[in-house]
Amino acid sequence: MASVIRTQVGIVGAGPAGLLLSHLLHLEGIESVVIESHTRRHVEERIRAGVLEQGTVDLLNETGVGERMRREGLVHHGIELRFNRQGHRIDMYELTGGRAITVYGQHEVVKDLIRARLHAGGQVCFEVDRVSVHGFDGTSPRIRFTKDGEPREIACDFIGGCDGFHGICRPSIPDGALRFFEKVYPFGWLGILAEAPPASEELIYSNHERGFALLSMRSQALSRLYLQCTPEEDLAQWPDDRIWRELQTRFETASGFRLHEGAIVQKGVTAMRSFVAEPMQHGRLFLAGDAAHIVPPTGAKGLNLAAADVRVLSRALAHYYRTGSGELLDRYSTTCLRRVWRAQHFSWWMTSMLHRFEGGDGFDHRRQLAELDNVTSSRAASAHLAENYVGLPFDPPGETS
């Protein structure tokens, strides 16, 4: 017989969405239990996004988990768009009235959130398997799983489905209850982590005739770099020296820009897609983060959308427990999807402007260059990019919960 854990909110997934939701609920006096199939070490070490919007930074600071981010994060006031072998800086700070981004790895955010939850006595259960969700159509949801071979069950009022694109929560919703919108891109990113100081203090997005490239970083000593490639790229065909040659080519400028090279300590290929599930809720099961939507990483929105989702959800749950009203919970999906679709548009726009598409011709490339020229020479166009890149306000008109 399964041992039963009683809590108010059961959360599937100890990524940034699930952990931040649990943390925000704790601050509202709401109990939760988080379960995760992987080990703690795995979730703390998997390298993912690294660009935090201003709103995400503010949220982490306001809720007491931003101390290490303030100390170690890299605050950037601009980005560079590079094309025709020339760099063009977008001054986001000036264009947005003092807003910026912070480069701080997603795995570092996860470490901070795990530490905060455990310090507060929160329950985060790693290395579980056979997870399933039940009863969310009614008033008594259940999460069943095994831990160390023993069956267990969480009895809760609500379930937070924060278990990512490949998790079990979204597929557990009955057929026909959701609509799916998806766009699969004909390319991927070959990403590397290198023990080399970044060659720029800010991110560089490069449109090159051989394909897109991105210069990012994780610290003053670690560079994170990406090359456009095929989704099925064979890493065996990409020894380190070939990667560095291709990166140097795609970032070259008329003035002789050179990357700092060093040992490559990690490499991998990420396919690119846009995906949205609507609605983001069914009964008492609420999807958040990658379980509900995926964006191509060009716009740096994945982690930030997850933070926005759980902020809306935690406020709606707090309202329910204070008043007994489910009004804000009923509006959860509508509220989140407005931001999600704006982020989808921005990410698609950045992707289509910067990448080479298979079968494209000279016309397509010239059109991209004209668009980049407009973005970097028109203040209005630059402001549009800057405002979306640093992140929409968390409470724009019509979105306050």
Residue 219 burial by Cβ neighbours in a 10 Å radius (0-12, 13-18, 19+): middle
Question: What's the pTM?
Answer: 0.95
Read off the pLDDT band of 359 (50, 70, 90): confident
Active-site residue identified among 185, 297, 320, 332: 297
The chain-wide mean pLDDT, for the chain, equals 95
- Residue found by looking up tokens 């560089």 in the block: 204
User: Does the active-site annotation cover 185?
Assistant: no
> Do the domains 182-272 and 3-50+105-178+279-357 match in fold?
no
Task: Work out the number of other CB atoms within 10 angstroms of the CB of residue 368.
Answer: 19
Q: Could you tell me which residues are beta bridge partners of residue 89?
A: 80
Q: Domain map of the chain by residue range?
A: 3-50+105-178+279-357, 182-272
For residue 316, the model assigns a pLDDT of 98
* Beta strand residue intervals within 105-178, DSSP E: 123-125, 128-134, 142-147, 150-155, 158-161
> Is-cis flag, bond preceding 279, omega within 30?
yes
Task: Work out the number of other CB atoms within 10 angstroms of the CB of residue 53.
Answer: 26
Average pLDDT (163-169) is: 97
For residue 401, the model assigns a pLDDT of 46
Which CATH fold topology does 3-50+105-178+279-357 show? FAD/NAD(P)-binding domain (3.50.50)
Rounded-to-integer distance, Cα 50 and Cα 316, Å = 28
Rounded-to-integer distance, Cα 288 and Cα 315, Å = 14
For residue 336, the model assigns a pLDDT of 97
User: Does the active-site annotation cover 282?
Assistant: no
Task: Work out the number of other CB atoms within 10 angstroms of the CB of residue 394.
Answer: 19
Judge whether 76 and 101 are in contact, CB under 8 Å. Answer: yes
Angle between helices 16-27 and 302-323 (to 10 degrees): 30
Percent of the chain with pLDDT over 90: 92
Residue range 26-76, pLDDT digits in tens: 999 999 999 999 999 999 988 777 899 999 999 999 999 999 999 999 999
Active-site residue identified among 205, 226, 320, 332: 205
User: Does the active-site annotation cover 205?
Assistant: yes
Active-site residue identified among 93, 226, 320, 389: 389
Active-site residue identified among 76, 77, 107, 355: 76
Average pLDDT (357-379) is: 91
Angle CA(310)–CA(100)–CA(312) in degrees, nearest 5?
15
For residue 131, the model assigns a pLDDT of 98
Residue range 336-354, pLDDT digits in tens: 999 999 999 999 999 999 9
Average pLDDT (228-240) is: 96
Average pLDDT (236-258) is: 97
Dihedrals phi, psi of 260, to nearest 5 degrees? -85, 125
For residue 396, the model assigns a pLDDT of 54
For residue 393, the model assigns a pLDDT of 83
Which CATH fold topology does 182-272 show? D-Amino Acid Oxidase; Chain A, domain 2 (3.30.9)
Active-site residue identified among 26, 111, 293, 301: 301
Residue range 170-224, pLDDT digits in tens: 999 999 999 999 999 999 999 999 999 999 999 999 999 999 999 999 889 999 9
Judge whether 38 and 110 are in contact, CB under 8 Å. Answer: no
3-state secondary structure (DSSP) of residue 139: coil
Q: What is the largest CA-CA distance in the chain?
A: 71
pLDDT at position 395 over 50? yes
pLDDT at position 381 over 50? yes
User: Does the active-site annotation cover 297?
Assistant: yes
Rounded-to-integer distance, Cα 354 and Cα 228, Å = 10
Residue with more model confidence, 2 or 6 = 6
pLDDT at position 158 over 90? yes
